[in-house]
Structure 1
Amino acid sequence: MRSDMVKQGFQKAPHRGLLRACGLKDADINKPFVAIANSFCEVVPGHVHLNKVAEKVKQAVRDAGGVPFEFNTIAICDGIAMGHTGMKYSLASREIIADAVEAMLRAHCFDGMICIPNCDKIIPGMLMAAVRVNIPTIFVSGGPMAAGKDSKGNAVDLISIFEGVASFKAGKIDEKRLHELECTGCPTAGSCSGMFTANSMNCLCEAIGMALPGNGTVLAVDPKRDELYAEAGKQIIKLIEKDLKPLDIITPESLDNAFVLDMAMGGSTNTVLHALALASEAEIKYDLERINKISEKCPNICKVSPSSGWHMEDVDKAGGISAILNEVSKLKGLLNLDCPTVTGKTLGENIKNAKIKNADCIHTLENAYSKTGGLTILHGNLAPNGAVVKSAGVAAKMLKHTGPAVIFESQEDACEGILAGKVKAGDVVIIRNEGPKGGPGMQEMLSPTSYIMGAGLGESVALITDGRFSGGTRGACIGHVSPEAAVGGTIGLLKAGDIVEIDIPAKKISVKLSDDELAKRKSQWKKPAPRITKGCLAKYASMATSADTGAVLKWTL
Structure 2
Amino acid sequence: MTDQPRKLRSAQWFGTADKNGFMYRSWMKNQGIPDHEFEGKPIIGICNTFSELTPCNAHFRKLAEHVKRGVFEAGGFPVEFPVFSNGESNLRPTAMFTRNLASMDVEESIRGNPLDAVVLLAGCDKTTPALLMGAASCDVPAILVTGGPMLNGKHHGRDIGSGTVVWQLSEQVKAGKISIHEFMSAEAGMSRSAGTCNTMGTASTMACMAEALGVTLPHNAAIPAVDARRYVLAHLSGMRIVEMALQDLRLSKLLTREAFENAIRANAAIGGSTNAAIHLKAIAGRIGVDLALDDWTRVGRGTPTIVDLQPSGRFLMEEFYYAGGLPAVLRRLGEAGLLPHPDALTANGRTLWENVKEAPNYNEEVIRPLNNPLVTDGGLCVLRGNLAPNGAVLKPSAATPALLKHRGRAVVFENFDDYKKRIVDPDLEVTADSVLVMKNCGPKGYPGMAEVGNMGLPPKLLAQGVTDMVRVSDARMSGTAYGTVVLHVAPEARAGGPLAVVRNGDWIELDCEAGRLHIDIDDKEMAARLAAWKEAQTRNPKDASGYRNLYVEHVLQADEGCDFDFLVGCRGAEVPPHSH
By the TM > 0.5 criterion, same fold? yes
Aligned counterpart in structure 2 of residue 111 of structure 1, from 113, 116, 120 = 116
Q: Distance in 1 between matches of 2:393 and 2:454?
A: 18
Q: Does 1:76 align with 2:83?
A: no
8 A contact 2:201–2:479 mirrored in 1: yes
SS at match of 2:371: helix
Q: Distance in 2 between matches of 1:455 and 1:279?
A: 45
- Give 2:560's aligned residue: 549
Aligned counterpart in structure 1 of residue 529 of structure 2, from 512, 521, 524 = 521
Q: Distance in 2 between matches of 1:478 and 1:303?
A: 22
- Give 1:130's aligned residue: 135
SS at match of 1:78: coil
The 1:73–1:449 alpha-carbon spacing in structure 2 relative to 1, beyond 3 Å, is farther
8 A contact 2:454–2:477 mirrored in 1: no
- Give 1:396's aligned residue: 401
Aligned counterpart in structure 2 of residue 445 of structure 1, from 430, 449, 452 = 452
- Give 1:210's aligned residue: 215
For 1:182, the aligned partner's letter is E
- Give 1:5's aligned residue: 12
- Give 2:500's aligned residue: 492
The 1:7–1:229 alpha-carbon spacing in structure 2 relative to 1, beyond 3 Å, is same
The 1:67–1:492 alpha-carbon spacing in structure 2 relative to 1, beyond 3 Å, is same
SS at match of 2:384: strand
- Give 1:25's aligned residue: 34
SS at match of 1:10: coil
SS at match of 2:80: strand
8 A contact 1:405–1:500 mirrored in 2: yes
Matched ranges for 1:59-458 at <5 A = 59-81=69-91, 86-88=92-94, 90-332=95-337, 334-421=339-426, 422=428, 423-445=430-452, 448-449=455-456
Q: Distance in 1 between matches of 2:338 and 2:300?
A: 14
8 A contact 2:87–2:126 mirrored in 1: no
More deviation, 152-161/236-245: 152-161
Q: Distance in 2 between matches of 1:172 and 1:317?
A: 34
Structure 1 alignment gaps of length 5 or more? none
The 1:457–1:413 alpha-carbon spacing in structure 2 relative to 1, beyond 3 Å, is farther
Runs of 4+ off more than 3 Å: 419-424, 449-460
Tell me by how many angstroms 1:486 deviates.
1.3
Q: Distance in 1 between matches of 2:335 and 2:463?
A: 42
8 A contact 1:159–1:450 mirrored in 2: no
Tell me by how many angstroms 1:528 deviates.
4.8
- Give 2:551's aligned residue: 540
8 A contact 1:65–1:237 mirrored in 2: yes
Tell me by how many angstroms 1:333 deviates.
5.9
8 A contact 1:165–1:454 mirrored in 2: no
The 1:20–1:136 alpha-carbon spacing in structure 2 relative to 1, beyond 3 Å, is same
Matched ranges for 1:48-67 at <5 A = 48-67=58-77
Q: CA deviation digits over 1:268-306, x for unaligned, max 9?
A: 000000000111111111101111011234222123211
For 1:79, the aligned partner's letter is S
8 A contact 2:162–2:191 mirrored in 1: yes
8 A contact 1:150–1:156 mirrored in 2: no
8 A contact 1:162–1:451 mirrored in 2: no
More deviation, 429-438/456-465: 456-465
- Give 1:44's aligned residue: 54
Q: Distance in 1 between matches of 2:446 and 2:493?
A: 10
Q: Distance in 2 between matches of 1:346 and 1:556?
A: 30
8 A contact 2:378–2:395 mirrored in 1: no
Q: Distance in 1 between matches of 2:287 and 2:29?
A: 36
Q: Distance in 2 between matches of 1:276 and 1:228?
A: 27
Q: CA deviation digits over 1:99-138, x for unaligned, max 9?
A: 1111111111200100000011111111111111111100
8 A contact 2:442–2:475 mirrored in 1: yes
The 1:224–1:43 alpha-carbon spacing in structure 2 relative to 1, beyond 3 Å, is same
More deviation, 4-13/418-427: 418-427
For 1:95, the aligned partner's letter is N
- Give 1:510's aligned residue: 518
Q: CA RMSD in A?
A: 2.0
SS at match of 2:52: coil
Q: Does 1:482 align with 2:513?
A: no
Q: Distance in 2 between matches of 1:470 and 1:456?
A: 26
Percent identity (aligned)? 32
For 2:562, the aligned partner's letter is A
Q: Distance in 1 between matches of 2:170 and 2:422?
A: 15
For 1:331, the aligned partner's letter is A
Q: How many residues align?
A: 552
Tell me by how many angstroms 1:534 deviates.
2.2
SS at match of 2:93: helix
Q: CA deviation digits over 1:428-471, x for unaligned, max 9?
A: 11111111112211111167348889767764411111111110
For 1:266, the aligned partner's letter is G
Tell me by how many angstroms 1:167 deviates.
2.4
Q: Distance in 1 between matches of 2:55 and 2:433?
A: 37
Q: CA deviation digits over 1:144-170, x for unaligned, max 9?
A: 011211123343432212432332233
Tell me by how many angstroms 1:413 deviates.
2.4
Q: Distance in 2 between matches of 1:167 and 1:173?
A: 6
8 A contact 1:438–1:486 mirrored in 2: yes
Q: Distance in 2 between matches of 1:454 and 1:202?
A: 34
Tell me by how many angstroms 1:44 deviates.
2.0
For 2:565, the aligned partner's letter is K
- Give 2:574's aligned residue: none
Tell me by how many angstroms 1:552 deviates.
1.1
For 1:28, the aligned partner's letter is E
For 2:499, the aligned partner's letter is I
Q: CA deviation digits over 1:10-59, x for unaligned, max 9?
A: 22111111111133211100211000001111122211111111111112
Q: Distance in 1 between matches of 2:89 and 2:177?
A: 23
For 1:75, the aligned partner's letter is S
8 A contact 2:308–2:366 mirrored in 1: yes
Q: CA deviation digits over 1:462-520, x for unaligned, max 9?
A: 11111111101211111110111112111001111111111112211111111121112
Q: Distance in 1 between matches of 2:379 and 2:286?
A: 26
The 1:113–1:451 alpha-carbon spacing in structure 2 relative to 1, beyond 3 Å, is farther
SS at match of 2:56: coil
The 1:330–1:371 alpha-carbon spacing in structure 2 relative to 1, beyond 3 Å, is farther
Q: Distance in 1 between matches of 2:467 and 2:380?
A: 18
- Give 1:14's aligned residue: 23
Q: Distance in 1 between matches of 2:512 and 2:257?
A: 26
8 A contact 2:457–2:469 mirrored in 1: no
SS at match of 1:510: strand
